[in-house]
Each structure stands twice: as structure tokens, then as C-alpha cells.
Structure 1
Amino acid sequence: MEKEICTISIASNWLGDEYTFYEDHRIKRVYDNHSLSVNRTEWLEPHQISKQNKDKLVKSCPEEFKEQIMQILDYP
């Protein structure tokens, strides 16, 4: 397993939505669909993430990881 870079939460209201980025450019998303369906996990490619969510991820990203995360997301 490659080394984790960071985890960024873009949760809205009470539903969780976290993205974990890895050095090998893999992206793991853990999210809640609703209160009875929590901590669902999926592995994503950058093109599967909406521009709106990419914006939120970059905005919420710790400064020391921002350049690396932008590169993984192919952000602008």
C-alpha cells in the first residue's frame, strides 16, 4: 500500500464525504448516502470527481499538500 498524502473532508450538513489521496495517485472516497447508509467506500479516478467537488477539495486542502493534490486531480 502506498503512502497516504492526506484526507480532505468536504462534508455537507451531517453527511460525511472524505477523500484520501495516496502517493501513487489513487483516491479513496468514504461517504454517507443517508443516515442508514454510512461509511461507503469507493476508489476514484480524477475524471470521476466533479469540478465542483475538485474546487471544494483544493479549497479545503492543507497548504503543504495543495500542489500535490492539484496535480493528482489534474486541477486546472
Structure 2
Amino acid sequence: MEKKICTISITTNWLDDKYTFYEDDTIKRAYDNSNSASEVTEWLEPKQISKQNKDKLIKSCPEEFKERIMLILDYP
């Protein structure tokens, strides 16, 4: 497993939605489908993430990682 850069949460209400970024430019998303469902994990390509979620991720990103995360997400 590659080294983790950071994890960014864009959780809304009670449903978890976390993205973990790795140094090999991979992205892991862990989220809840519903209040009663357990966490689902998937590996994503930047093009699979909506512009709205990319905006939220960049807004919530710690400043020291922002430039690197923007490169990984091909943002804007």
C-alpha cells in the first residue's frame, strides 16, 4: 500500500463520505449508503468524482496538502 497523503471528509448529515489520497495518485472513497448501511469502500479515478464533490474536497483540504490534491484531482 502506498503512503497516505491525507483523508478529507465531506460528510453531510449523518452519512459519512471520506476520500483518502495516496502518493501514487490513487483515491479511496469510504461512504455510507444509508443510516443503517455499513461503510462502502471504492477506488476512484479523478474523472469519476463530480465537480461539486471536487469543489467540496478542495475547500475542506488542509492547506499543506491543497496543491498536491488539486493535481491529483486535475482541478480545476
Normalised TM-score (structure 1): 0.98
Equivalent residues, number: 76
Runs of 4+ aligned residues of structure 1 deviating over 3 Å after TM superposition are none
Q: Where does residue 50 of structure 1 map in the other structure?
A: 50
Percent identity for Structure 1 against Structure 2: 75
Computed over aligned residues only, the root mean square deviation of the Cα atoms, in angstroms, reads 0.5
Normalised TM-score (structure 2): 0.98
CA displacement 1:12-70 (0-9 Å, x = unmatched): 00000000000000000000010221210000000000000000000000000000000
Unaligned runs of 5+ in 2: none
Unaligned runs of 5+ in 1: none
1:69 aligns with 2:69: yes
